[in-house]
Amino acid sequence: MVKHVAVILSGCGVYDGTEIHEASAVLVHLSRAGAKVKMFAPDGDQMHVVNHCEGKPTEEKRNILQESARIARGDVTDLAKLDVSAFDAAIIPGGFGVAKNLSDWALKNKSCTVQPHLEKIIKDFHKAGKPLGMCCISPVLAAKLLPGCELTVGQDKECEKWPFAQTAGALKDMGCKHVNKDVDEAHVDVKNKLVTTSAFMCNAPVHKVFDGIGVMVQETLKLA
Ligand X SMILES: *[C@@H]1O[C@H](CO)[C@@H](O)[C@H](O)[C@H]1NC(C)=O
Active-site amino acid positions:
136
CA distances from 72 to 17, 42, 60, 65, 94 (A): 13, 14, 22, 10, 15
Tell me the site size for ligand X, rule CB under 6 A.
14
Q: Does 109 bind ligand X (CB under 6 A)?
A: yes
The piece of 109-117, 122-130, 138-146, 155-163 that touches ligand X (CB under 6 A) is 109-117
Q: Interface residues for ligand X in 154-183 (CB under 6 A)?
A: 166, 169-170, 173
Q: Which of 31, 32, 36, 45 binds ligand X (CB under 6 A)?
A: 45
Q: Does 42 bind ligand X (CB under 6 A)?
A: yes
Per residue in 126-156, is it b (16+ CB within 10 Å) or e — as a string? beeebbbbbbbbbbbbbbbbbeebbbbbbbb
CA distances from 224 to 27, 157, 190 (A): 17, 33, 11
Shortest Cβ 105–ligand X spacing (Å): 8
At residue 159, φ and ψ (nearest 5 deg) are -160, -175
The piece of 31-39, 107-115, 120-128, 178-186 that touches ligand X (CB under 6 A) is 107-115
Q: Which of 64, 114, 122, 143 binds ligand X (CB under 6 A)?
A: 64
Shortest Cβ 11–ligand X spacing (Å): 9
Q: Does 66 bind ligand X (CB under 6 A)?
A: no
Q: Which of 18, 68, 103, 115 binds ligand X (CB under 6 A)?
A: 115
CA-to-CA distance for 219 and 81, rounded, in angstroms? 26
DSSP state, residue 114: B
Considering only the C-alpha atoms of the chain, give the largest distance between any 2 of them, rounded to a whole number of Å: 47
Q: Which is nearer to ligand X, 162 or 210 (CB)?
A: 162
Question: Of the candidates 52, 150, 37, which has an alpha carbon nearest to the alpha carbon of residue 95?
Answer: 52
Q: Which is nearer to ligand X, 16 or 219 (CB)?
A: 16
Q: Which is nearer to ligand X, 153 or 221 (CB)?
A: 153
The residues that bridge with 178 in the sheet, in sequence order, are 151
Q: Does 101 bind ligand X (CB under 6 A)?
A: yes
Question: Which residue ranges make up the site for ligand X (CB under 6 A)?
Answer: 42, 44-47, 64, 101, 109-110, 115, 166, 169-170, 173
